[in-house]
Each structure stands twice: as C-alpha cells, then as structure tokens.
Structure 1
Amino acid sequence: MNAKLLTDLLAGQFICEIAFEQEYELLSDPEVRAEVELWLASIDRRLAQLGEDGAYFVAPMQIMAPHAAKVREDLKRFRDVYGPSVRMLNLIREAKDGFSCSPGDYVQLADIEGSINESSTLESHLRSMHSAIAGVSIKHSNREFLKRMLENLTDSGYLVLSNPQNETYRVTGKIDHLHAALEFISEHEPVIASAPEDEAQTEDLVLKATLQTGESDV
C-alpha cells in the first residue's frame, strides 16, 4: 500500500487529480481503493468522495455523539473560519473573466493584477482584506498583496502553483468541499443554530454535514 497516500488521507488532505495527481490515479484503481478502504475500516474510518469524480477524503465510519457535536460547532463557525478564503476567491472571480471557481480553473497573477490596477473598486476590495491575508502590510503593492493572497489560498489547499515561471495557479478539488459546506449551511442554518431535539433528525443532519464537509476528526 502506498504510504504517502495513506499519510495524506490521514492528514485530512483532499486527494484530487490536480493537487495529488499520482495519489488520485492510485485511488481510481478499484483494487487499490478496496485495499485503502479495508485499512481505514481497521481504524474505524472510511474513504469518502466529493461527487462521482471529485476529491477523496477520510470520514468517520459511524456518526457518534462526539462527531455530531464537533460537526455542529464547526458548521456554526464555518463562515468565520473560511470567510477569508471565500472573500479571496470571490475577488479572483470578479477580477478574472471566465473564472468559475471550479476544479482545474487557472489563475495567473499577472492577469488579476492588471484587472485590480484598472479598477479602484477591486483595488479597494483587495486592500480591505489586509488583515485576512497573512504576511501582508497595507504598505505593500497590489502585486505583493495578490501574490500573498494566492499563497494563502495555496496554503489552505484551494490552489496549487502549476507554473512557477509565469506564476500561474490552478484550483484544486478541495474547492468542492467549500461549495458543499456553504450550500449546506445556507439550507440548514436554522437547524444548525440550535441542536434539534429529535435524535433521528440530529443524526441525519450530521451525517449529511459529514459527507459534504469532510469532517473526519482523525
């Protein structure tokens, strides 16, 4: 069994064909996938996937009370925790025509820099995030702001640097996790805000959240 594949899965990585090409190809083999699933079952975990051809990740084998509490609390603070990444991705969407924020989309630093420099509104949006982008100062140029912003998104797992020469990045499969979680919260926010009294409803809600957000409590 591939040690790196297991290490990445247990570390909470989302194994997609963009960020983890070799590992994703391994999991595309039914025999390898079955072997991984068997090994994960031995530690009470399972292999899950975002959609039919999306990223693989590790999730709990069964949804127990501790998982329910953890997922509910994580969902309550999801916007606060992931809000900066959402704002950064939305800025890219505004600055780059045709950017759908989908796995495989390309982002070149020079492209969005040009759009930012030509729009005072976009520049204002960028600079309003100076407290959310690690490693930047209000004194930095737009290019440095954007460079650090893309590096932040890379550190969060939403982008990979595909071409260092021209500073081109690519959106990874983890983005589907973000979309799914935000959609889930939008649909179930009243229920998440206050724990349901019906135990069956609680279990069903948390199961859906775990499947969509990849909460594994590894």
Structure 2
Amino acid sequence: MIFDEVFTSTVESLLAGKFICPITYTTSYDFLNSDINRERVQTYLYQTGKTLSHIDHEFYYASYESMTPDRRRSSRAVFKQTQQEIRPVVEFLSLMMRVSNDERSLYTGDEIHLAQIVSKIENDKSLLKSLDRIIIQIKGQLKGSVFDKTKQLINSLVKTEILKQIEPKIDIYLCTGKLAYYINLMEFIMTYQAEKFDDIDLDEPVQDDLI
C-alpha cells in the first residue's frame, strides 16, 4: 500500500470514529507512529474540526478540536447513551477477572481463549449467572449451552471492535485499543459521575462517537 493510500485509509478510519491500534489497524497504527505522518494527519483533521488524540500512543482516535454549543448538547446525550453501552463491557471485564482469578484488568494485546472461558463457567454456577446477566444486557439468547452463550458475548465484542479474532476458525481473540479507551472512559465516569457532567469542561477534546 503506497503512502497516499495509507494516509487516506487512516484519515477515513479516524473520521469514522475508529480506534487505531496495533491490533485492529496495524498499517495505520505504524503510519501514525511517525511524527511527520501524525503532523500531516493532524493538519487534515483540523480542517474538519477534529484533532488527533491518543493515550500514551497506545491507540489513536479523532476528537473534537473544540466544543460548540451544539456539540456540547450532543456530547451530553451521547455520554448518557455510552454509559448504557459500557455496562456489558464492565460486566465482561469483571467476569474475566473471576474466570482467570486475576485482579489485573484486560488490556490491549491480551489474549482470550474461548475454550478456557467456557470450561471455567461450566463448573461455576456463579460465573454462569454473571454470563446470563451479560447476555440479557446485550439482548442475546439465554437458550443454548454455555459455549453458545459465551460465543454470543464474544461475537458482540468482536462486532464493536473491542475484541479481534486472530483467525476465522480459531477461537482466540485479542483485546484492542478500544477496550483500553473504554477502561479510561470508565475511570472518567467513576470520577465525575453522570450528575456532575454539566460541570465538566467540555472544551477538552473528546471522541465524538462515545462522548
């Protein structure tokens, strides 16, 4: 892929609200790791009212360069919607910590093996109840085996690009930069709480698809 094609693909992904990380968009991520390339992308995004944002260069995304009254109102509405969308992710992270018996949260690049999760849940009624609760949240089907329900959950996370399947026929998945973003967003929510949102300085850059 030639330089201009990578530039175009990267900009289009950013403007579409995608999170550029080494798991989901490897070529674009490598492209943005260059200072010169980031400057060129930043210049283009600025013309659209956006800016290139990142957290420790672990992943990149486009956010508003500044907030207008209309964007402020829209951000509040999307923020409330995002709180609902994050709940299954919170439950999933909690479930995975219990499955792995590890208090460390999942992060970008971590592997998830479907067979291992199913094996743990099948032998623990408490984990099964937690799985069923998440299935209800994602409006899935409670009928079927533990494998079927776990696969539903994993597929929903793949669809939203929180996880990425390594190979189509292999049930091993990688956590993406979007999960890392959600974790940071959850910390934001815990710090400020929804009722304090009106007092938050929305002049700070925010990701337009989530906040």
Shorter-chain TM-score bucket reads: 0.7 to 0.9
Would the aligned equivalents of 2:22 and 2:29 in 1 still touch at CA under 8 Å?
yes
Query: Letter of the aligned partner of 1:21 in structure 2?
Result: T
Query: Letter of the aligned partner of 1:103 in structure 2?
Result: T
- The residue correspondences of 1:144-159 to structure 2 (distance < 5 A) are 144-159=148-163
Query: Letter of the aligned partner of 2:27 in structure 1?
Result: Q
For 1:83 and 1:147, locate their aligned partners in 2 and report how far apart those are by CA, in whole Å: 18
CA RMSD after TM alignment: 2.0
The reply to whether residue 166 of structure 1 matches residue 170 of structure 2 is: yes
Cα distance, 1:108–1:70 mapped onto 2, change above 3 Å: same
One of 104, 108, 117 as aligned partner of 1:103: 108
Would the aligned equivalents of 1:127 and 1:138 in 2 still touch at CA under 8 Å?
yes
Aligned to 1:7: 12
Cα distance, 1:112–1:81 mapped onto 2, change above 3 Å: same
Would the aligned equivalents of 1:96 and 1:111 in 2 still touch at CA under 8 Å?
no
For 1:207 and 1:101, locate their aligned partners in 2 and report how far apart those are by CA, in whole Å: 30
For 1:37 and 1:170, locate their aligned partners in 2 and report how far apart those are by CA, in whole Å: 28
- The residue correspondences of 1:175-190 to structure 2 (distance < 5 A) are 175-189=179-193, 190=195
Identity %: 22
Q: Which runs of 5+ in 2 are unaligned?
A: none
Cα distance, 1:97–1:106 mapped onto 2, change above 3 Å: farther
Moved more, 85-94 or 36-45: 85-94
Moved more, 116-125 or 71-80: 71-80
Moved more, 26-35 or 183-192: 183-192
Would the aligned equivalents of 1:95 and 1:112 in 2 still touch at CA under 8 Å?
yes
For 1:78 and 1:138, locate their aligned partners in 2 and report how far apart those are by CA, in whole Å: 24
Aligned to 1:207: 203
How many residues align? The count is 203
List 4+ stretches of structure 1 deviating above 3 A.
Answer: 163-166
State the TM-score, normalized to the length of structure 2.
0.87
Q: Which runs of 5+ in 1 are unaligned?
A: 197-201
Shift of 1:175: 1.4
The reply to whether residue 71 of structure 1 matches residue 75 of structure 2 is: yes
Aligned to 1:199: none
Shift of 1:74: 2.4
